Chain A
Amino acid sequence: MNTATVRNTGARSIPAPVARAALVAALIAVWQVAPTVGLLDPRLLPPPSVVGPMIVQLFGEAGFRGHLATTLLETLVAFLVSVPVGFIMAILIGENKYASDIFKPLVFFVFSIPKSIFLPLFIFAFGISFHQKVAFGVFSTLFIVMMLSFAAIESVRRDHLVVARSYGATRMQTVLRVYLPGMTPVLLEAIRVSMIFNFTGILLAEMYASREGLGNVIEQWGQGFQLDRLMATIVVIAAIAIVFNETIRALESRCEHWRE
């Protein structure tokens, strides 16, 4: 028996979810205690006892709710454009060997470029506007959607397609009844990861130049040294991101056996 096995059995006496919850609770406790006892300047890191009520206060302010609505709308529109467009482009490219040879390397090239450096160009093209935020969100997301869609298409098992053909499936039937369900697990993963890129793109565009939105207030309150408001906004954004991510992950685990 090797040492790794011995160590594992010892660590497993506490169930992982309990240990995880304890770790998060401990971090929040440190966050609370450190500024209170003077280990950290409370003006630099306001404790949860300040940030918590501030979140409630922010939701009571019409201005903040407006910023939240703007960001969510921009994110939603950019997402609803980039995911279907990226997916359809990936299918058109992935379906044809010649098109794959031409376009796939290009998609990989563009994907590797940091998208933030194009922000000034988007302002030239669209001005500081809703459209500019959405356009940049789409630009940030499109290439990861395409790359993950390529993977989704490849995840469809060949023998599943042969079975459909041997039972006389039409092209449409093959797409709807074999390709789509066959791709679903990887596609859900694509949606989840794409949202991370999309949300990041929108917030970045707002922080760089905007008149409204959560990115705008983050930038503003950071510059204005209003760290209670800044921290509260960070917690709200983190919560939105985690809730979306976990919802899709729950769907993913429900069709986990589809990958079999």
Chain B
Amino acid sequence: MGLKAVVSSPSPAFSTDESGAVEVTNVGHVYETASGTTEALTDISFRVETGRFISIVGPSGCGKSSLLMMIAGLVQPTRGTITAGGRPLVQPDPTRIGVVFQDASLYPWLTARSNVEFPLSLRHVDHKIRRERAEEALDLVGLAGFADKHPHELSGGMKQRVALARGLVQDPPILLMDEPFAALDEQTRLTMGDEVLRIWERTRKTIIFVTHGLSEAIHLSDEVLVLTSRPGKLVDRVSVDLPRPRSFEVMGGRRFEELRERIWQRIRS
């Protein structure tokens, strides 16, 4: 099934689609340090429905990235359970979840195309299909002409686009993004935000987006989860009721400011 197929495939009418749902139940995380045990996350519970775009914000060190790594199956929580697509995760499952990391983390020895093909080649997907899918994914992120470039020939924004294409190439119903644009300049960050929204609207994947930018979170998401630190705790879920597409005027408006103020207050408390 190609990326475009998702858009046209009808969702089952008899029940809500579980394939992209993420459920986090009573999750806690404790890690050992030289000075004893540290509680990084405590009693986190939330559910994300298929096709929703949610952001997780919080002060640095609140464990928002750790939480994302647990949803990705890269770190096991000390307590609680996490399910993706209705089934628990004991290890990373790239067919269910794609991950985009903070640094694009592309392999510098591979071309953009080979980087995108990498997840498929690990599963020994046929060479021709692999190439087709990679080209489709690069096309989706607007990098059709750059397939043969190496990462060192690409700008920071382009590298993140390649990483995004790599996350999308297996067409997972869930996409996790860990501060993906934190290292980019303001202008590129805004452009990339619009890109992600465009792709989300086309593919309707569930996206969980970790960021420290409050405006970015509000601009992108249906809902913003607010964490506080030490230990990381879920203190608020803010529904973003701004109409889409979110124009420049909406983003400067009164409702936007109210939401931003509310999130800011919750983080500070």
Contacts and interface: CB of A to CB of B under 8 A. Distances in A.
Interface of A: 157, 159-160, 162-170, 173, 177-178, 181-182, 184, 255, 257-260
**In terms of DSSP, what is the predominant structure of the interface of chain B?**
loop
A166 B72 contact: yes
B152 interface: yes
B122 A173 contact: yes
12 contacts: A160-B105, A163-B105, A166-B73, A167-B92, A167-B94, A168-B91, A168-B94, A168-B123, A181-B107, A182-B107, A258-B109, A260-B108
A157 B109 CA distance: 13
A169 B101 CA distance: 17
A151 to B, nearest CB: 18
Contact of B152 (A163, A181, A260): A260
**In terms of DSSP, what is the predominant structure of the interface of chain A?**
helix
A255 B152 CA distance: 11
B109 A162 contact: no
B105 A162 contact: yes
Interface string B8-24: 00000000000000000
Given A257-B150, A260-B152, A166 B107 contact: no
Interface residues of B, number: 21
A127 to B, nearest CB: 46
Given A168-B93, A168-B123, A257 B105 contact: no
Nearest to A184: B109
Nearest to A167: B119
A158 to B, nearest CB: 10
B74 interface: yes
A165 B74 contact: yes
B151 interface: yes
Given A159-B103, A257-B150, A166 B108 contact: no
Contacts of B93: 168
A250 to B, nearest CB: 17
Given A159-B105, A257-B108, A166 B99 contact: yes
Contacts of A259: 108
A163 B151 contact: no
A157 B108 CA distance: 11
Contact of B107 (A160, A165, A173): A160
Given A257-B150, A259-B108, 6 more contacts: A159-B105, A164-B122, A167-B94, A168-B92, A177-B122, A178-B107
